[in-house]
């Protein structure tokens, strides 16, 4: 079965995560895809197939005779789709021999256009898979799953020489929990790759340092007619706090290695208000400076309005995996060569976000991210090419070949 055929099958299984849940997986329907994949893995001859109580799927392709001492490598993708855009009742559609023009997405009123997505001109002549404009496609990350499964089937059917290969499919990556409960002892790999990137040929081994910040503002509400020198308006405190942050350091105004403060939610009244932020930066030094900027704003405002008027809580999300990956740089060098073996030049870019690979790297499993051939993730314009998926699958096979040598 081709990778794209698997993708079309997998995306029709609803697996959206939920940020409101306290369980893992955050939604029970992620088990539907987990058990489907486990059955397929058993049918194709993968060993040690197991689905645990948190919907993590495990499997092993034992090493070929004579390659038992080759490094054990792993491949990982995630089951879930984003929680904040519909991922149920996905209706994938194939656009054959794309002509470079606008693609009308069903009856949604949305159009996939080169004006908004200039890279589409590079996909002319390819066969695309798109949505009907009302849901995500789910190529993030079911394309990665499909490519790993196709790689595994190819290795087994064609008896390609290989060291031990570990496979895992994880829940809840989209809400930041994907790697947290992966059993590394059961997985058993020394290094791994997440197949969770964008265009084929991409490799990512740098990501943002990330944390979240919640700022609570405690006001003092009295009748406005007698509020002189007494009232403290919590909503105005929130506005004052935000104005103390660098105005140009927002996602809209930054790119590449540039970090930001991102205000994600605000609510409040005179008596109480809250602001929620995510803070991101590739540089650990600048990342700490951003957090210190918030702490300093909290200190100044409490000195002005009274202790406890502003309460800052910072929660760590993830760190930049580069500092660990560089100690095992063969994991990047072999991927770069695997991409070149597929006839394309690697594209090395920093991730302006996080990844399961970052968490796993800091848990002791160096794990860069490989492109799957998809574009415009996290929305109704998500799309992928069949040819890109074939190349991404070939790259995974080439990685296996590199480590078998």
Is-catalytic flag, 349?
no
At CB < 8 A and 24+ separation, what contacts does 25-28 make? 25/54, 25/55, 25/79, 25/80, 25/171, 25/172, 26/80, 26/83, 26/171, 26/172, 26/175, 26/177, 27/80
Q: Which two tokens stand for residue 100?
A: 């470079």
Is-catalytic flag, 140?
no
Q: What are phi and psi of 117, to 5 degrees?
A: -130, 80
The position carrying tokens 């190819």 is 154
d(CA 132, CA 80): 20
d(CA 349, CA 11): 27
Closest of 167, 188, 243, 214 to residue 317, by C-alpha: 214
Residue 63 CA: distances (Å) to CA of 59, 68, 162, 296, 300 = 13, 5, 6, 55, 61
Q: Helix (H, G, I), strand (E, B), or coil: what is residue 184?
A: helix
Catalytic annotation, pick one of 80, 140, 249, 394? 80
CB 380 within 8 A of CB 110: yes
d(CA 170, CA 375): 21
The residues, ordered by sequence, that sit 6+ positions from 206 with a Cβ below 8 Å of its Cβ are 282, 320, 321, 322, 350, 351
Catalytic annotation, pick one of 132, 153, 173, 382? 173
Active-site residue list: 80, 173
């Amino acid at each position: 079965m081709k990778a794209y055929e698997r993708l079309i099958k997998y995306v029709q299984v609803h697996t959206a995560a939920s940020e409101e849940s306290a369980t893992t997986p955050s939604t029970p329907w992620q088990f539907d895809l987990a058990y489907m994949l486990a059955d397929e893995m058993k049918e194709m001859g993968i060993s040690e197939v197991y689905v645990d109580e948190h919907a993590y799927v495990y499997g092993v392709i034992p090493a070929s005779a004579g390659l038992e001492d080759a490094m054990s490598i792993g491949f990982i993708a995630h089951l879930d789709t984003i929680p904040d855009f519909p991922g149920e009742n996905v209706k994938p559609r194939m656009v054959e021999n794309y002509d470079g023009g606008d693609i009308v997405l069903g009856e949604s009123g949305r159009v996939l256009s080169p004006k908004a997505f200039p890279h589409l001109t590079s996909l002319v002549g390819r066969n695309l898979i798109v949505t009907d404009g009302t849901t995500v496609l789910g190529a993030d990350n079911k394309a990665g799953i499909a490519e790993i499964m196709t790689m595994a089937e190819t290795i087994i059917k064609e008896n390609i020489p290989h060291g031990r290969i570990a496979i895992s499919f994880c829940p809840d990556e989209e809400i930041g929990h994907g790697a947290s409960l992966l059993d590394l002892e059961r997985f058993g790999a020394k290094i791994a790759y997440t197949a969770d990137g964008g265009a084929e040929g991409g490799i990512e081994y740098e990501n943002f340092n990330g944390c979240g910040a919640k700022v609570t503002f405690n006001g003092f509400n009295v009748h406005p007619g007698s509020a002189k020198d007494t009232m403290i308006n919590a909503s105005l405190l929130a506005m004052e706090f935000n104005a103390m942050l660098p105005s140009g350091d927002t996602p809209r105004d930054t790119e590449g290695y540039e970090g930001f403060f991102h205000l994600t939610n605000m609510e409040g009244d005179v008596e109480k208000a809250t602001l929620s932020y995510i803070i991101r930066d590739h540089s650990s030094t600048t990342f700490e400076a951003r957090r210190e900027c918030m702490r300093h704003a909290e200190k100044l405002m409490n000195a002005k309005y009274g202790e406890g008027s502003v309460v800052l809580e910072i929660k760590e999300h993830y760190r930049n995996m580069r500092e660990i990956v560089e100690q095992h740089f063969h994991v990047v060098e072999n991927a770069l060569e695997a991409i070149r073996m597929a006839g394309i030049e690697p594209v090395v870019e920093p991730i302006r976000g996080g990844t399961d690979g970052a968490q796993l790297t800091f848990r002791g499993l160096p794990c860069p991210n490989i492109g799957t051939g998809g574009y415009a993730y996290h929305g109704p314009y998500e799309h992928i090419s069949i040819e890109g998926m074939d190349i991404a699958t070939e790259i995974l096979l080439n990685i296996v070949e590199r480590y078998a040598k």
